């Protein structure tokens, strides 16, 4: 891990290296992903069954691509009542927050008498990709499906790989709680292709959301334009701002909560106290001896972790904006004042008792967030990802007479004669009628 101090002469070069040292892997699989997508587009269900047998060691025919309601019910019965209750708590909070996000339509009449407005409508169909096997996260099902349902999407289709035919009960329970009934046992780039282009059994969707591996990310990149996507997600990341009033152990656990996701994840501590930073580093090493995913978390911390010592919190806010992290924890007494100085972060967690893990599960705001510095221009998943804006204009004769001549002048300047005539001949007819 890197140790940086803003007072050091070589700080700038070290900091620049820190925010540029991770690279996406999606480009390495672009050719085989393109081949998979082309085959799915050409051969439909047959290609899905072929790839499922090859990659997931599961022999299927078209009739068994969809997981039946009976299978979903049986899987849900294997989930403890405690976990069902926990999923319900999370779902209720996620739904409440996203309902509060819903925008209102816009309509007004301007000074020239034109009626102008904007109307929001939902997408017709959304595809949800869910990783399978060890990387199955029911929380991601809730975070992706519930905003779509709140937005009014009529059809939610979910694809989840089932290696060896094993269904993940928690994922299916979360899907049922989120209102997803159309679920297919296919994964990988082939599932993305099926949702984008459609097959005999899977109707195409309008947008595909949800996390996946490098193959899934590359497939989403390649189908973008034919359908919408949420984002091309990179490894997880967190920046923690903490002073010496905090427990080094708790700060260490917050750093490792991101590091345990992936060897490429990045966890950064920014502090105004070098001695406190050293205590946190020691606490990280101790905690690594206790974690079941210590190998992953340790590699992430070793290769991409960092402690940055700053002179003040205003300086820290400037560094946060340059990192533009997916997650930002501000564990300070004046957390809101420091947060007010930050422009670029996917989501913020304020105070000493609000770890990022709360946001992963039961906070309410979405945990699907921009990574790899894309928080400079992108936002987390929301109801807006499942809505479209349609603007409208209405005018009578009076309004056209007031604004039309300017439109004619601009159309002539652009050399678009039909544009100009479509307005000017209406104006001429009005003038003739008034004469």
Residue 263 is given by DSSP the state: T
Residue with tokens 């940086």: 4
Residue 371 and residue 287: Cα distance in Å, rounded? 25
Residues 338 and 317: beta-carbon distance below 8 Å: yes
DSSP reduced 3-state for 109: strand
Number of Cβ within 10 Å of residue 89's Cβ equals: 12
The yes-or-no answer on residue 326 being catalytic is yes
Which one from 237, 326, 329, 356 is the annotated catalytic residue? 326
235 Cβ neighbours under 8 A, 6+ residues apart: 22, 261, 262, 264, 265, 266, 371, 372
**d(C-alpha 95, C-alpha 90), whole Å:** 9
- The CA distance from 128 to 382, in Å, is 14
First-to-last CA distance in the chain? 82
Q: Which of 98, 261, 304, 327 is catalytic?
A: 327
327 catalytic per annotation: yes
Give the containing element (helix H, strand E) for 105.
Answer: none
Residues designated as active site: 326-327
């Amino acid at each position: 891990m890197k140790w940086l101090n803003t007072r050091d002469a070589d700080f700038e070069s070290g900091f620049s290296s820190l925010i540029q040292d991770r690279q996406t892997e999606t480009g390495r699989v672009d050719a085989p992903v393109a081949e998979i997508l082309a085959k799915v587009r050409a051969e439909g269900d047959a290609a899905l069954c072929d790839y499922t047998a090859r990659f997931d060691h599961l022999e299927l025919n078209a009739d068994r691509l969809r997981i039946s309601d009976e299978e979903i019910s049986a899987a849900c019965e294997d989930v403890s009542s405690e976990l069902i209750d926990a999923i319900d708590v999370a779902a209720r909070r996620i739904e409440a927050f996203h309902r509060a996000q819903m925008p209102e339509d816009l309509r007004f009449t301007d000074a020239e008498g034109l009626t102008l407005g904007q109307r929001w409508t939902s997408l017709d169909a959304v595809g949800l990709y869910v990783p399978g096997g060890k990387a199955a996260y029911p929380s991601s099902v809730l975070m992706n499906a519930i905003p779509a349902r709140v937005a009014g999407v009529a059809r939610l289709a979910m694809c989840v790989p089932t290696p060896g035919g094993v269904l993940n009960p928690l994922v299916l329970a979360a899907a049922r709680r989120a209102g997803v009934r159309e679920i297919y046992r296919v994964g990988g780039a082939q599932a993305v292709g099926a949702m984008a282009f459609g097959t005999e059994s899977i109707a195409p969707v309008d947008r595909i959301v949800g996390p996946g591996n490098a193959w899934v990310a590359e497939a989403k990149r390649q189908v973008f334009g034919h359908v919408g996507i949420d984002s091309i997600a990179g490894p997880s990341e967190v920046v923690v701002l903490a002073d010496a009033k905090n427990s080094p152990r708790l700060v260490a656990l917050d750093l490792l909560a991101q590091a345990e996701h992936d060897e490429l994840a990045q966890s950064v501590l920014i502090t105004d106290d070098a001695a406190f930073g050293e205590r946190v580093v020691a606490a990280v090493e101790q905690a690594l001896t206790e974690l079941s995913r210590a190998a992953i978390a340790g590699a992430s911390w070793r290769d991409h972790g960092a402690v940055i010592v700053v002179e003040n919190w205003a300086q820290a806010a400037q560094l946060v904006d340059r990192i533009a992290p997916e997650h930002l924890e501000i564990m300070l007494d004046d957390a809101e004042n420091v947060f007010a100085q930050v422009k670029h972060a996917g989501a913020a967690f304020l105070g000493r008792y609000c770890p990022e893990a709360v946001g992963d599960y039961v906070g309410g705001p979405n945990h699907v967030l921009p990574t790899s510095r894309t928080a400079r221009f992108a936002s987390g998943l929301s109801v807006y990802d499942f809505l479209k804006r349609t603007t409208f204009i209405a005018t009578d004769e009076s309004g056209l007479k007031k604004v039309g001549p300017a439109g004619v002048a601009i159309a002539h300047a652009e050399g678009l004669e039909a544009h100009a005539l479509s307005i000017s001949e209406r104006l001429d007819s009005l003038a003739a009628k008034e004469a």
